[in-house]
């Protein structure tokens, strides 16, 4: 059994690390808000405090040094030079490593941490970072708060009285909630911070204090009214309560009486007796020297402040609407079970609709309407459940920033990552399984895509190379692009290496797109030597396999001298998809909608035979290869293709190509059922689904069919076995 409190700490630390990375990224700009530095400091300080509670001493020690440097930056005593900024960013990376090590129970090597600590020490100078004591023997000690007595108005020095009388000020009504104490805040510290702004008089309201027997120590009963004379602005006063907004009732109003503060009479305390509700402590107003309009007393202002608090309590709903949205952590397995149940609900709805359609009795319009409502409701539930698993790619993109920094340090190049579309939401599983292939691509872009400093200078480019990473939604898919501003692909060199490694025949003549596809072949590498980043021929082939396993595809576009762009197209979710139901060789298949560009019924003159078994389609001045799906999958194929029905799709290997099908039945949403656990990877097929009439339909993999990666498969047998497997999974 793990420690649930410790698990919660690590979950909250992940959010703090994301906030830290985001803040440091914003600080790299030419101009940034000072509040960004404060948020970065608070993130490190919060991690340090939580780690101290669990005696994670290595984490506490490093976070202490880190926040010391940040404190110097936010107080503007340390200039934020590029070198200091680099040290802060790399320190954030190491802080992430320390958190991961603490979570897994590992110990970070001391020499590694020592190197980062030395870099932080160098930012401030020797001896300016004090070592934090170990938390093993830490004990809390009570501290006596020494509050100086308030002088009588007549006893104040003339200069002080004049100064006091010239000051403006504020009346502050403060009533803490229980959550204020639960979050570790202490009103006395807030009052001490207010006292630094000017001259302060505090009155406590004991009227809500219950009898001793009825006292609940978890419920706050006290409230305070504070008269603060200060030349500071209201913004400065609000900053004192910055960390307790939403945790208290707070009303700040101009001070009505500009005269020096009156004497506050002490509240009598009766020992060994039940505490009775007591009204606010009375205060004595100074006697006027001449007849004039009577100024409001402190009791009057306290009553007004209490009334304002009551009005504010009546508007609690408005305050809650402005508060941050509450979140709920749920076990991922529960969400997966819910998604599976919704998938079966969609299948059940399709079956009921199909049975209704097959009924030979008189059509019942009311029943049809109810079935349609059932379908719409099932889809709404499905979309809502899928939204639970959706998460922004922001956390993934932040990890890639570190990959760029490490790859740049390893290669001696200068590189920066520019991201866009971080708020694009994708299924959580897609985000997790995309981390490794995206890491390969980012490293590849720095190592192979960007030139070294000398080459960039010779070509008139800035010394700092740029890697652009973006995400967006398009046509029901998520598009992720990785683009560098390097030299582009050297196609003659790529072809030469492929021939030397016997990956293609020595006399092969390939097109530009075919040469680009060689990068995805196993064993291919353009690196001259083996390094930590490249040279072993394991890279882009892993990327393509991972993307294909996610039901996506990857393409390359390059411009010599300007850079290369890799584009990954992925489904938004791995559970449900929109597909076109087609007939091929007497069998029912589903083609993903995201792959289909258009459907075509060509004229005989648009088809051109090449050799004995190749056909090209002439469309809008282009020649596109035609692929017979039935023959590729081993189904009976008609000999006459004079007027076939074609699906124009986008494939990895052939680009645009046309798939021959017998007919199109419908377009619908289908629930994906994996076949890999029983059949492994089936060439030409990505998954299966159950249709409304109970039939099993295989989900086609257009890239595999177009690329001819289905040879030797007897699809009718696979379809029969897949049917039993899909039913078993229902």
Pick the CATH number of 393-571 from 1.10.3470.10, 3.40.30.110, 3.30.565.10, 3.40.50.20: 3.30.565.10
CA-based nearest residue to 123, from 152, 150, 88: 88
Average pLDDT over residues 17-23: 86
Residue 366's Cβ-side half-sphere holds a number of Cα atoms within 13 Å equal to: 0
Q: 8: which 2 tokens?
A: 């919660």
Mean pLDDT comparison of 29-33, 152-156, 217-221, 718-722, highest-scoring range: 217-221
The 10s digit of each residue's pLDDT in 524-560 is 765 554 455 554 444 688 888 888 777 778 888 888 8
User: Could you tell me the CA-to-CA distances from 280 to 264, 284, 602, 650 in Å, in that order?
Assistant: 11, 13, 91, 77
Cα separation, 725 vs 722, in Å, equals 5
652 compared with 42, residue with greater pLDDT:
42
pLDDT at 274 over 70: no
- pLDDT for residue 269: 43
Residue labelled with tokens 């005593």: 77
The 10s digit of each residue's pLDDT in 456-474 is 989 899 989 999 999 988 7
Residue 273's pLDDT band, with cuts at 50, 70 and 90, is very low
Least confident span in 144-158, 399-413, 635-649: 144-158
The 10s digit of each residue's pLDDT in 307-366 is 555 555 554 444 444 444 556 667 777 877 887 787 778 778 777 877 777 765 666 777
Average pLDDT over residues 106-122: 86
Residue labelled with tokens 């293609």: 504
Q: Is 512 helix (H, G, I), strand (E, B) or coil?
A: helix
Cα separation, 580 vs 603, in Å, equals 23
pLDDT at 184 over 50: yes
pLDDT at 437 over 50: yes
270 compared with 471, residue with greater pLDDT:
471
How confident is the prediction for the chain on average, in pLDDT? 76
Cα separation, 440 vs 543, in Å, equals 7
Cα separation, 719 vs 698, in Å, equals 7
Q: What is the DSSP letter of 262?
A: P
How are strands ordered across the β-sheet holding 614-619? 596-600, 645-651, 655-661, 622-628, 614-619, 607-610
pLDDT at 177 over 80: yes
Proportion of the chain above pLDDT 70, given as a percent: 74
Pick the CATH number of 4-124 from 1.20.1440.130, 1.20.120.160, 3.30.70.20, 3.30.930.10: 1.20.120.160
Cβ atoms of 471 and 421 closer than 8 Å: yes
Helix H, strand E, coil C: the string for 293-355 is CCCCCHHHHHHHHHHHHHHHHHCHHHHHHHCCCCCCCCCHHHHHHHHHHHHHHHHHHHHHHHH
Element (H, E) at 600: strand 596-600
Cα separation, 215 vs 209, in Å, equals 8
Cβ atoms of 647 and 696 closer than 8 Å: no
Cα separation, 382 vs 371, in Å, equals 16
Cα separation, 544 vs 539, in Å, equals 9
CA 261, chain centre distance (Å) = 52
Cβ atoms of 487 and 561 closer than 8 Å: yes
Neighbouring residues of 24: CB distance < 8 A, sequence distance ≥ 6? 40, 85, 88, 89, 92
684 compared with 224, residue with greater pLDDT:
224
Which pairs with CB-CB distance under 8 Å and at least 24 residues apart come from 210-219? 210/275, 210/277, 211/274, 211/275, 211/276, 212/274, 212/275, 213/274, 215/275, 218/178, 219/178
Cα separation, 146 vs 41, in Å, equals 30
The 10s digit of each residue's pLDDT in 653-688 is 567 888 998 888 888 878 777 776 666 667 778 788
- pLDDT for residue 679: 66
The beta-strand segments (E) located in 324-456 are 390-392, 415-420, 425-427
Cβ atoms of 615 and 608 closer than 8 Å: yes
Per-residue exposure over 655-680, b if at least 16 CB sit within 10 Å of its own CB, e if not: eebbbbbbeeeeebbbbbbebeeeee
Cα separation, 664 vs 596, in Å, equals 13
Cα separation, 70 vs 64, in Å, equals 10
Cα separation, 28 vs 17, in Å, equals 17
Average pLDDT over residues 79-96: 88
- pLDDT for residue 142: 52
Phi then psi dihedrals of residue 140, to 5 deg: -85, 140
Q: Is 177 helix (H, G, I), strand (E, B) or coil?
A: coil
Average pLDDT over residues 29-33: 68
Query: Roughly how many angstroms between the first and final C-alpha of the chain, as a whole number?
Result: 33
- pLDDT for residue 539: 63
* DSSP structure string for 117-144: HHHHHHHH-TT-SPPPPPSTT-------
576-729 falls under which CATH superfamily? CheA-289, Domain 4 (2.40.50.180)
Count CB-CB contacts under 10 A for residue 46.
18
Phi then psi dihedrals of residue 701, to 5 deg: -105, 95
User: Could you tell me the CA-to-CA distances from 531 to 64, 341, 437, 523 in Å, in that order?
Assistant: 35, 48, 19, 15
Angle of helix 4-27 relative to helix 34-53, nearest 10 degrees, comes to 160
Cα separation, 219 vs 250, in Å, equals 18
CA 627, chain centre distance (Å) = 41
Q: Is 707 helix (H, G, I), strand (E, B) or coil?
A: coil
User: Is 160-263+300-315 a CATH 3.30.70 domain?
Assistant: yes
Q: What is the DSSP letter of 627?
A: E
Cα separation, 665 vs 591, in Å, equals 11
Cα separation, 49 vs 72, in Å, equals 19
94 compared with 337, residue with greater pLDDT:
94
Mean pLDDT comparison of 297-306, 390-399, 707-716, highest-scoring range: 390-399
- pLDDT for residue 482: 93
Provide the H-helix boundaries in 131-284. Answer: 158-166, 178-182, 187-195, 234-240
């Amino acid at each position: 059994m793990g420690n649930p409190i410790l698990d919660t700490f690590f979950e909250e630390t992940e959010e703090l690390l994301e906030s830290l990375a985001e803040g440091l990224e914003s600080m790299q700009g030419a101009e940034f808000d000072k509040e960004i530095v404060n948020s970065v400091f608070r993130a490190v300080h919060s991690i340090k405090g939580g780690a101290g509670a669990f005696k994670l001493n290595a984490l506490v020690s490093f976070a202490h040094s880190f926040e010391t440097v940040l404190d110097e930056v936010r107080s503007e005593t340390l200039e934020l030079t590029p070198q200091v900024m680099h040290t802060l960013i790399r320190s954030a990376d190491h802080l992430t490593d320390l958190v991961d090590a603490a979570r897994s129970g590992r110990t970070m090597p001391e020499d590694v941490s020592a190197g980062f600590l030395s870099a932080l020490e160098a930012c401030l100078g020797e001896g300016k970072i004090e070592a934090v004591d170990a938390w093993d023997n830490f004990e809390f000690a009570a501290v006596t708060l020494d509050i100086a007595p308030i002088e009588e108005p007549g006893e104040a020095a003339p200069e002080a009285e004049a100064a006091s009388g010239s000051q403006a000020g504020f009346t502050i009504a403060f009533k803490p909630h229980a959550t204020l104490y639960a979050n570790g805040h202490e009103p006395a510290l807030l009052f001490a911070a207010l006292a630094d702004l000017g001259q302060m008089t505090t009155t406590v309201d004991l009227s809500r204090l219950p009898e001793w027997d009825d006292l609940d120590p978890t419920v706050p009963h006290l409230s305070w009214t504070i008269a603060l004379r200060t030349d500071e602005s209201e913004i400065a006063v609000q900053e004192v309560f910055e960390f307790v907004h939403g945790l208290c009732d707070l009303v700040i109003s101009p001070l009505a009486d500009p005269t020096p503060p009156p004497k506050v009479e002490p509240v009598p305390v009766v020992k060994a007796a039940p505490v009775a509700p007591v009204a606010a402590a009375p205060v004595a107003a100074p006697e006027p020297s001449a007849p004039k309009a009577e100024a409001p007393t402190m009791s009057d202002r306290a009553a007004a402040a209490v009334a304002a608090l009551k009005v504010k309590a009546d508007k609690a709903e408005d305050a809650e609407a402005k508060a941050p949205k509450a979140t709920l952590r749920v076990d991922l397995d529960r969400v997966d079970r819910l998604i599976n149940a919704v998938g079966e609900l969609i299948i059940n709805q399709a079956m009921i609709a199909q049975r209704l359609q097959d009924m030979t009795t008189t059509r019942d319009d009311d029943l049809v309407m109810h079935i349609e409502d059932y379908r719409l409701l099932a889809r709404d539930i499905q979309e809502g459940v899928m939204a639970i698993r959706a998460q922004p790619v922001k956390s993934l993109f932040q990890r890639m920033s570190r990959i760029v920094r490490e790859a740049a340090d390893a290669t001696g190049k200068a590189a920066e990552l520019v991201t866009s579309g971080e708020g694009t939401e994708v299924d959580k599983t897609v985000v997790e399984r995309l981390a490794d292939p995206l890491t390969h691509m980012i490293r590849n872009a720095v190592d192979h895509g960007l030139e070294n400093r000398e080459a960039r200078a010779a070509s008139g480019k800035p010394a700092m190379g740029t890697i652009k990473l973006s995400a967006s939604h398009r046509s029901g898919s998520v598009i992720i692009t990785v683009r560098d501003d390097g030299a582009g692909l050297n196609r003659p060199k790529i072809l030469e290496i492929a021939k030397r490694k016997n990956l293609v025949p020595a006399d092969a003549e390939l097109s530009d797109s075919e040469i680009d596809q060689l990068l995805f072949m196993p064993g291919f590498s353009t690196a001259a030597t083996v390094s930590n980043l490249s040279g072993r021929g394991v890279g882009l082939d892993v990327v393509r396999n991972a993307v294909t396993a996610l039901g996506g595809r990857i393409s390359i576009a390059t411009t010599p001298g300007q850079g290369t762009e890799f584009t990954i197209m992925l489904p938004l979710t791995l559970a449900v998809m929109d597909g076109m139901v087609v007939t091929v060789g007497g069998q029912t298949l589903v083609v993903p909608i995201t792959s289909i560009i258009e459907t075509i019924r060509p004229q005989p003159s648009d088809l051109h035979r090449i050799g004995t078994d190749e056909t090209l389609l002439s469309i809008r001045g282009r020649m596109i290869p035609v692929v017979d799906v039935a023959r590729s999958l081993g189904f009976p194929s008609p000999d006459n293709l004079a007027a076939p029905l074609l699906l124009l799709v986008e494939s990895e290997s052939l680009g645009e190509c046309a798939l021959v099908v017998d007919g199109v039945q419908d377009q619908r949403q289908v629930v994906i059922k994996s076949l890999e656990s029983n059949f492994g990877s089936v060439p030409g097929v990505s998954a299966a689904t159950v249709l409304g009439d109970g039939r099993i339909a295989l989900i086609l993999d257009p890239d595999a069919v177009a690329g001819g990666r289905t040879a030797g498969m007897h699809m009718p047998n696979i379809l029969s076995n897949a049917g039993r497997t899909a039913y078993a999974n229902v």
